[in-house]
Amino acid sequence: MESLVFQENVTACDECDLVHHIPPLKRGERFVCDRCGHVLLNFREHVEKLILGTGFSSLLMFLFALAFPFLGFSNNGAERSVTLYNIVSILIIQDYLILSILVSLALFVFPIAYLITVLLLVWSLQNRFISLTTKRNLTRWVVVIQPWLLVDVFLVGILVALVKMNSMADIELGLSFWAFCAHALLLLKTVTLLDRRWLWNNVAGQAPEHVIMKQPTQAKKQGLICCHFCGATHSDLVCHCSRCGHSIHSRHPKSLMTTMAFLMAAVIMFIPANIFPIMHTTFLGVNEPSSIMEGVLLLWSLGSYPVALVIFFASVVIPLAKVLSLGWLCWQCYFPTERETLQKMKLYRITELVGRWSMIDIFVVAVLTGLVQMGNLIAISPGPAVLFFAAVVVLTMLAAASFDPRLLWDNEERVETTSLLEEKEQ
């Protein structure tokens, strides 16, 4: 029987389920999983002050971005300038309600809610004026919306839209554009500073202590469950986390079925997204619809090769690659090959990371619709493919979120156990 050792703070890796004892960390240190290399805890130096500084600065830059003109557009003596608010309001006026909701969530609701919530939580660590229940709910909100922060993708979409319009008209960058750039960079810095386990540890206290095996093994084999929301470990007899209150499971319930359902829905949506026009351009009274590939070919013919490649990879290659990658990973959970599990994990991490960048084309259409509205002279409006393509992006992101990478390591454990039994029989 294996010797046991009592540990003060135990957690399990989110991606491979290996149980770890987190030693005392000094500021500036981080703790990494021994098996898969996933960062479990990042304890930065002066992190509270840094989060308050970057978060408040990002919020301030966003207010500046709303106060001044964002972009200017002029063609044959006709001029037009828009603010960030105009980009959404014009979509609402033209009855593109669903698209305006998507842009509003990505541009206004999620970033501002995230920043305000993070600032309140970090400030309350030193000033105990918020109840524990409220802090738990706020921390849950932070964890949920963090993957859906798309201001950096929106910023790249703006740059692509400017390149598209540069050959047709003169573009002027307003003061709000530079303020929004600062807002996006500061928001990304705030996200990188905020560690989920560190935040839960400060908001709701340390995770429960456990007696664990001295030899590193999966939590499932030790009768433990790791909360995927806050990182606390509990007995496998517990249904809800005592620290964050979230329901806990050894593995995501019906993970593979849910992932495959999202992937199949994404494949169905991908067909009309590439067949129908994604954008309509009216020039001198003539309406010219263009699909995703037609837009890529147009940019290529104009000599904008880097932008054409960005749109091609973000709108065509990445969605297809994400569907194929996640489908293959689901297959590996049922019929594993001899390929190393670490290589499969790298594929999963890349798939999860790049999927959000497919939203570039959606933001390009939204920006051009808000900016280019000059009657029959020149005007741009979204096509029916926009909503189908947005559905593809959201569905693939949900598919990646529902996939449980710990299932890949379960297969490796089974293969190793089978090999040991065969060796003993021989």
- CB-CB contact of 120 with 134 (8 Å): no
Per-residue confidence (pLDDT) for residue 5, from 0 to 100 = 37
Q: Is the pLDDT confidence value at 263 over 70?
A: yes
Per-residue confidence (pLDDT) for residue 3, from 0 to 100 = 39
- CB-CB contact of 280 with 288 (8 Å): yes
> Which stretches of 284-345 are assigned E, i.e. beta strand?
286-290
List, for residues 75-108, the tens digit of each pLDDT value: 666 677 788 888 888 888 888 888 889 889 988 9
List, for residues 291-327, the tens digit of each pLDDT value: 888 888 877 876 777 778 888 888 888 889 999 999 9
CATH 1.10.8 is the classification of domain 254-426:
no
Among residues 206, 229, 233, 207, the alpha carbon closest in space to that of 220 is found at 233
Q: Is 17 in a helix, a strand, or coil? A: coil
Per-residue confidence (pLDDT) for residue 201, from 0 to 100 = 82
List, for residues 362-417, the tens digit of each pLDDT value: 888 888 888 777 666 677 788 888 999 999 999 999 999 999 998 888 876 665 55
Per-residue confidence (pLDDT) for residue 322, from 0 to 100 = 92
Per-residue confidence (pLDDT) for residue 75, from 0 to 100 = 65
Winning range, highest mean pLDDT, from 156-165, 221-230, 242-251, 399-408 = 399-408
Per-residue confidence (pLDDT) for residue 392, from 0 to 100 = 93
Count Cβ neighbours within 10 Å for each residue of 100-132 and write b for 16 or more, e otherwise.
bebbbebbeebbeebbebbbbbbbbeeeeebee
List, as one string, the DSSP characters of 179-242. HHHHHHHHHHHHHHH--HHHHHHHHH-PPPP-EEESS--BGGGGTEEE-TTT--EEETT-SB-T
Count Cβ neighbours within 10 Å for each residue of 261-273 and write b for 16 or more, e otherwise.
ebbebbbebbeeb
In total, the chain counts a number of residues equal to 426
Identify the weakest region by mean pLDDT among 55-69, 125-139, 190-204.
125-139
pTM of model > 0.95: no
What does the pLDDT average to over 139-164?
Answer: 88
Per-residue confidence (pLDDT) for residue 216, from 0 to 100 = 75
Q: Which residues pair with 79 in a beta bridge?
A: 74
Per-residue confidence (pLDDT) for residue 130, from 0 to 100 = 79
Angle, helices 292-301 vs 255-275, to 10°: value is 60
